[in-house]
Amino acid sequence: MLFTSYSFIGFISAVFILYYVLPKKCQWPLLLIASYIFYFIASPSYLIFIAATTVSTYLVSRKLENIKTEQDAYIKENKGKITRDEKKAYKAKMKGKQWKWLLVCLIFNLGILAVLKYTNFVIANINGILEAFHSTNELSFVNLILPMGISFYTFQTMGYIIDVYRGTCKAEKNLFKLALFVSFFPQLVQGPISRFHDLAQSLFEEHAFDTKVVSYGLYRILWGYFKKVVIADRILTAVNEIIQNPEVYQGGFVFVGMMFYAFELYADFTGGIDITIGIAQTMGITVTENFRRPYLSKNIKEYWKRWHITMGTWFTDYIFYPISVCKPMLKISKFSREKFGDGVGKRVPVYLSSFVVWFTTGIWHGASWNFIVWGLMNFVVIMISQELEPLYRKFHHRFQVKDKKWYGAFEIIRTILLMSAIRMFDCYRDVPLTFQMFGNMFTHFDITAFTAEAFLGLGLTAADYLLLFICLIIVVAVSLTEERKGSVRNLIYASPAVWKYLIFGVMILVVIVFGAYGIGYDQSQFIYNQF
């Protein structure tokens, strides 16, 4: 049941009506039932995996909480009877116990994800190595299912259990409430990756019907559908034509494909998240924002603070920091400082942890070398820009251009081009071909190839191009307005009633009339569904 299907619209309409018609205490149980129905419709077999993750995490979180309660009771009971060292040793022992349980939970759940998602990738690599050594042996691929949204809900749930272990989040006592947190259907398939303390309160509390909140949610949903079905699904045709025929579309058309894909991915992913956040908002539930106008970033570090924010903060909090500040890493840093000087010593933890983070980010996106290289390219570019920072500082000290509008525009365009170039690894079938096409973009660039016939050959009509151009202007205008004045929905809501309804009506019409295939056409799922 795709977000763009009639069945989904019927489904959320039914959930919405029941949500406000039934007694308020039934609201969150209704969402749990709806989420499991949503998942059941996708495939009944998926339920086993999400249930296994939920139950295992629940049991371990309760265990962690019990250990903490036992510890607090012991310390309270023995106050004044045990020495400071004894208390410290006891706390360390209990923390060790908690750590073992946490490890069990992480290995079990990340193990499920790893086996289902990466087994065939590992087999393909082993076969590749065997072939390189001229071996005739070959391992057979296994037929495994990959439950929808498994990468998202596994990460969300593992974030929760780590927070309980750290003591920054209380373990949920109600198994069914935890089950809803894991499976909440609007965000199940493509995130955001929420934190329990951010989502729980609004997810479980009772909500009265509030016209303003519901209107805001509906505007957001429509804006998401506009980006998905009018822009992303339309431009998808041209992107596929270019990247699936690299022998035909070379030089300048590689660049066209690269930029079209950047626009498609933006519209597709942010559109999907708008729909998710909008649906939740119509029911009074606040889901964490996942984007903050990423294409207005002036450098790659800023870009990653604005794009897929919840994934970035997840990797920072649960992988980057724990690796960077663990005792062995601090020792390595100290050793490097003594041996090679301050500069190297400072860089070692940051570089090693960043490498792990970007490798993991890459492989999280998909079991292929394309994604791993994509992740590592991000790592390389971030590290280079980090190293160049003193040079930038000197440049800005010498030339006072930092506050000039034209320089800001240059930085934004540079970042968009850089990120779009790295994203070519998402597009072409393998890593060597991606590098080849990147080079080809420069070596075979021929401006005379940009004819009207060539563009119409990409599967889009002149009207499509005109419409996409208008959409681009609208998206840029909305982004710039939000950057400067805050939410556009606030502006719409503050306008006279006639404008509010007119804009709402026009948005519905635009989605229905200009949707590439119209709502209900199930051809293209969201790009991030596959992750």
Chain residues in the site for another protein (CB under 8 A): 84, 166-168, 301, 305, 316-317, 320-322, 324-327, 330, 333-334, 337, 345-346, 349-350, 353, 386
For the CB of residue 106, give the shortest distance to another protein in the complex, in Å. 15
CA angle 408–427–147, rounded 5-degree value: 110
Of the pair 396, 429, the CB lying nearest another protein is at 396
Of the pair 187, 354, the CB lying nearest another protein is at 354
Candidates 59, 63, 436, 464; CA nearest to 251 is 436
Of the pair 78, 135, the CB lying nearest another protein is at 78
Of the pair 49, 320, the CB lying nearest another protein is at 320
Of the pair 318, 364, the CB lying nearest another protein is at 318
CA angle 501–504–509, rounded 5-degree value: 125
- Residue 79: HSE in the Cβ half-sphere, 13 Å Cα cutoff: 4
- Residue 83: HSE in the Cβ half-sphere, 13 Å Cα cutoff: 3
For the CB of residue 302, give the shortest distance to another protein in the complex, in Å. 8
**Helix/strand/coil for 205:** coil
Of the pair 177, 347, the CB lying nearest another protein is at 347
Of the pair 94, 431, the CB lying nearest another protein is at 94
For the CB of residue 295, give the shortest distance to another protein in the complex, in Å. 18
Q: What is the distance between the alpha carbons of residues 275 and 342, in angstroms, rounded to a whole number?
A: 48
For the CB of residue 354, give the shortest distance to another protein in the complex, in Å. 8
Cα torsion 397, 398, 403, 409: sign? negative
For the CB of residue 306, give the shortest distance to another protein in the complex, in Å. 11
For the CB of residue 374, give the shortest distance to another protein in the complex, in Å. 20
Tell me the three-class secondary structure of 237-290, residue by residue.
HHHHHHHHCCCCCCCHHHHHHHHHHHHHHHHHHHHHHHHHHHHHHHCCCCCCCC
**What phi and psi values does residue 317 have, to the nearest 5 degrees?**
-75, -35
For the CB of residue 531, give the shortest distance to another protein in the complex, in Å. 23
Of the pair 282, 353, the CB lying nearest another protein is at 353
For the CB of residue 318, give the shortest distance to another protein in the complex, in Å. 8
**Helix/strand/coil for 43:** coil
**Which pairs with CB-CB distance under 8 Å and at least 24 residues apart come from 472-481?**
472/263, 475/227, 475/231, 475/266, 475/267, 479/293, 479/295, 479/296, 480/296
